[in-house]
Structure 1
Amino acid sequence: MTTQFSVSGIELELFRYPSKQESNLQAWDAADEHLIKYLIDNEQASVNTAVVNDSFGALSAALLSIDPSWPLTFETDAKTSLLGASQNLSHNHLSQESVTWVNSRDEFPRGFELVLMKLPKNLNYFSHQLNRLSHVLPAGTRVLIGAKAKSINKSLLETIEKNLGTASASLTWKKTRVITCISDGKARALPKATIWSVPEFKLQISNLSNVFAANKLDIGARIMLDNMPKGNFKSIVDLGCGNGILGLHAKQVFPEAYIHFIDDSEMAVASAKENWALNQLDNPALVGEQATFAWDDCLTNMSEGFRPDLVLCNPPFHQGEAITDHIAWQMFLDAFRRLKNGGILHVVGNRHLAYHVKLQRIFKNCTTVASNGKFVILQAQKISKKAQEPEIDSSTETDAPHPQSALYGKPKA
């Protein structure tokens, strides 16, 4: 994994978050490099700047290495991005005193003279971000958007113009381009949450713009809802909760349980909280709060005494534009560390991802609960308090058997 960022005389050592993750991915891409090169080539002065979608702080660190007092507002929906940026600034001995940290729903400060932005994968969320910026940017403010050249087309430029102002793209460099948008100073209406129903489970779902499965139940969640685990569970985690659909149904199935919703996306956590209230799932027989909502990096920062007896998990296999399984590794390891003795991890995933190999290595057991042509539900149990944490070497992941192996069973018709 490359950690040395070197562009136009700027030298930094940058890590993804957490820095010891099982991933060979680097903490920046060529679009980050292009944006910094563009600023230096154009002799950009240090002005009040918003930095949006800066995955692990490469843009922010580069600006602060140019001028340690460069005034920055760092906006992100991902907790790992916020933590990663802070980690990289500290690692490179860059002060954070001039940095303001905001999430995707906080009110933007005013007075920006420049915006640096990376194009997110979710274009609905991108439009939402442009709408947010339209409320605070004076006419004439430059917004520089870094993206892969193949992602930039006439439709994207029209989207930017519709939601913020006129836009044009630079020449290609390292297969990336920089889009320059000039704010027109007109505030756009912010999009409302999308609301849809799951009638068979008597649930109403509200989704904010950066939450997976924007307007319908995804098929991975569907098979999970149809195959909830058996047991008498009292403390349940919906890990990577998204809109909270798994945790909501878990409360229906286990009305005496306390549900903990956790996600890296602040919008996801907000949606899950809204959906808990929308569906009125509190059990009147129980005292106190029956659900908690955490914007966090998996189970990293839960208290040491936190010991759930069930973790439900539908792991993502991408982070931004990167296709990766290191998030699933972390989720499974965190579940192993946190579950009480006898506790269960209940996982759904695409068959080809071979999650049974990971679970077998971590928990030393894995059972197939259900499967169809595309998805499989797996269950692993923590069988000993004294179990030694496995040594995970991602280089051996290619040892995984074919997904049609005996452990998965035959697909159901």
Structure 2
Amino acid sequence: MTTQFTVADIELELHRYPSNQESNLQAWDAADEHLIKHLIDTEQAAVSTAIINDNFGALATSLISIDKQWPLLLETDAKTSQLGTLQNLANNKLSNDNIQWINSRENIPTSVELVLMKLPKNLTYFAHQLSRLSQVLPAGTQVLIGAKAKSINKSLLEVLAKNLGPASASLTWKKTRVITCVSDGQARSAPKSVSWTIPELKLEISNLSNVFAASKLDIGARIMLDNMPKGDFKSIIDLGCGNGVLGLHAKQKYPEAYIHFIDDSEMAVESARQNWQLNNLETPDLAGEQATFSWDDCLTHLNEGVRPDLILCNPPFHQGEAITDHIAWQMFLQSWRALKNGGILHVVGNRHLAYHVKLQRIFKNCTTVESNGKFVILQAQKISKKAEPFETEGSETRNESSDSQSDVPHPQSGLYGAKT
């Protein structure tokens, strides 16, 4: 995996987040390089700049390396993007003192004079971001968007014109182009969330623009809802919760349980929070809060006091446009650590992803609960007896209390992100 980012006189060491994942994926792409090259070629001054969708900080670290005082506003919906940017700034001994952070729902300051964007995979989300910019950018403000050349077409330029202002694309360089969009100064209304119902479960669902399966129940979640585990569960994590539909139904099925919703997408976490309130699922006799909502990288910052007896998980197998299984590995390994002894990890996934191999290696057990032509539901239980450590180069084990993290492989092990 290449970690040396070089454009003109800029040389940086950049890693994806977490830096110990063993994938062959870079922390940047040619569109990042093209944007930085464009700024250097045009001798762009260090004005107040908003950077949007900077996957792991390639754009931010480059600008700070050009001018340590460059004022930056970083907008992201992904916690891994924020953590990755901070990681790469620290690794390159660059300060984050001049960086202001916002998520994709917070107000953009009116002081922004230039915007750099990476084109997201979700074009509905892209339109949302453009409409937000239209509300604050004065007429004439440039928005530079880096994208693969094959992704740029007439309909994309029409989306820009409709939501922000006229746009044109540069010549192709390394199979990428830079779109220059000029704000027309006309404020657009932000798109509303999409709402729909699951009549048989008596659930109302509302999705913000960057949430997976925005307009209907995805088929993986459907088979999961129809095959929830049996048991008297009291603490449940909906890991990678999306709009929270699995956690919502878990509360219906296990009314005495406390539900913890966790996702890398801030919009997903907020959608889950709104859906919890919308469906009024709290059990009257239970004291205190009955749900928590965490914007986090899997279970990385889970409160040590949370010891779930059930984790529901529908792992993503992509990160942006990159296909990768390292997120599933991380979810499964961290679930081992978090679960109490006897606790269950209940997983749904595409059959071809072979999650049963991963779960068997981590938990030393795996049961097929249900399957169809495309999806399979798997269940693994954390057992109290010690598991054998993995015989993978660089692997580590941890010896702690029998009810915490005994002999679980550390994420820095060679197994982390390994292919099956």
User: For this structure pair, what is the TM-score category when the shorter chain's length is used for normalisation?
Assistant: over 0.9
In 2: Cα distance, 1:165 partner to 1:276 partner: 37
In the other structure, the counterpart of 1:275 is 275
TM-score w.r.t. the length of structure 2 is 0.93
Q: How far does the alpha carbon of each residue in 1:118-144 deviate from its partner, in whole angstroms, 9 at most, with x for none?
A: 000000000000000001100000000
- Matches of residues 127-206 of structure 1 in structure 2 within 5 Å? 127-206=127-206
Q: In the superposition, relative to structure 1, how do residues 309 and 22 fare at CA in structure 2: closer, same or farther (>3 Å)?
A: farther
- Matches of residues 48-127 of structure 1 in structure 2 within 5 Å? 48-127=48-127
Deviates more, 1:212-221 or 1:18-27: 18-27
Asked if structure 1 preserves the Cα contact closer than 8 Å seen for 2:326 and 2:417, the reply is: no
In 1: Cα distance, 2:214 partner to 2:178 partner: 28
Q: In the superposition, relative to structure 1, how do residues 297 and 395 fare at CA in structure 2: closer, same or farther (>3 Å)?
A: closer
Gaps of 5+ in 1: 399-413
The reply to whether residue 388 of structure 1 matches residue 407 of structure 2 is yes
- SS of residue in 1 equivalent to 2:419: helix
Q: How far does the alpha carbon of each residue in 1:63-84 deviate from its partner, in whole angstroms, 9 at most, with x for none?
A: 0000000000000000010111
In the other structure, the counterpart of 1:223 is 223
In 2: Cα distance, 1:3 partner to 1:229 partner: 43
Deviates more, 1:298-307 or 1:329-338: 298-307
In 2: Cα distance, 1:11 partner to 1:168 partner: 30
In 2: Cα distance, 1:229 partner to 1:22 partner: 32
The structural deviation recorded for 1:396 is 5.7
How many residue pairs are counted as aligned between the two chains?
A: 398
In 1: Cα distance, 2:82 partner to 2:106 partner: 14
In 1: Cα distance, 2:406 partner to 2:206 partner: 40
Q: How far does the alpha carbon of each residue in 1:249-273 deviate from its partner, in whole angstroms, 9 at most, with x for none?
A: 0000000000000000000000000
- SS of residue in 2 equivalent to 1:328: helix
Q: In the superposition, relative to structure 1, how do residues 236 and 194 fare at CA in structure 2: closer, same or farther (>3 Å)?
A: same
In 2: Cα distance, 1:39 partner to 1:288 partner: 52
In 2: Cα distance, 1:335 partner to 1:323 partner: 22
In the other structure, the counterpart of 2:327 is 327
In 2: Cα distance, 1:6 partner to 1:216 partner: 43
The structural deviation recorded for 1:304 is 2.1
Q: What amino acid is aligned across from residue 213 of structure 1 in structure 2?
A: A
The structural deviation recorded for 1:26 is 1.1
Q: In the superposition, relative to structure 1, how do residues 253 and 22 fare at CA in structure 2: closer, same or farther (>3 Å)?
A: farther
Q: What amino acid is aligned across from residue 389 of structure 1 in structure 2?
A: V
In the other structure, the counterpart of 1:255 is 255
In 2: Cα distance, 1:396 partner to 1:67 partner: 38
Which of structure 1's runs of 4+ aligned residues deviate more than 6 A? none
Asked if structure 1 preserves the Cα contact closer than 8 Å seen for 2:118 and 2:145, the reply is: yes
In 2: Cα distance, 1:168 partner to 1:314 partner: 39
Asked if structure 2 preserves the Cα contact closer than 8 Å seen for 1:15 and 1:84, the reply is: yes
In 2: Cα distance, 1:303 partner to 1:226 partner: 30
The structural deviation recorded for 1:394 is 6.1
In 2: Cα distance, 1:395 partner to 1:95 partner: 30
In the other structure, the counterpart of 2:376 is 376
The structural deviation recorded for 1:303 is 2.1
Asked if structure 1 preserves the Cα contact closer than 8 Å seen for 2:22 and 2:417, the reply is: no
Asked if structure 2 preserves the Cα contact closer than 8 Å seen for 1:68 and 1:95, the reply is: yes
Q: In the superposition, relative to structure 1, how do residues 226 and 392 fare at CA in structure 2: closer, same or farther (>3 Å)?
A: farther
Asked if structure 1 preserves the Cα contact closer than 8 Å seen for 2:325 and 2:419, the reply is: no
The structural deviation recorded for 1:21 is 1.8
The reply to whether residue 47 of structure 1 matches residue 47 of structure 2 is yes
Asked if structure 2 preserves the Cα contact closer than 8 Å seen for 1:22 and 1:329, the reply is: no
The percent of aligned pairs where both chains have the same amino acid is 76
- Matches of residues 350-361 of structure 1 in structure 2 within 5 Å? 350-361=350-361
Q: What amino acid is aligned across from residue 326 of structure 1 in structure 2?
A: H
In 2: Cα distance, 1:123 partner to 1:326 partner: 25
- SS of residue in 1 equivalent to 2:220: helix
In 2: Cα distance, 1:175 partner to 1:228 partner: 46
In the other structure, the counterpart of 2:8 is 8
The structural deviation recorded for 1:112 is 1.2
In 1: Cα distance, 2:293 partner to 2:75 partner: 21
TM-score w.r.t. the length of structure 1 is 0.95
- SS of residue in 2 equivalent to 1:165: coil
The structural deviation recorded for 1:12 is 0.4
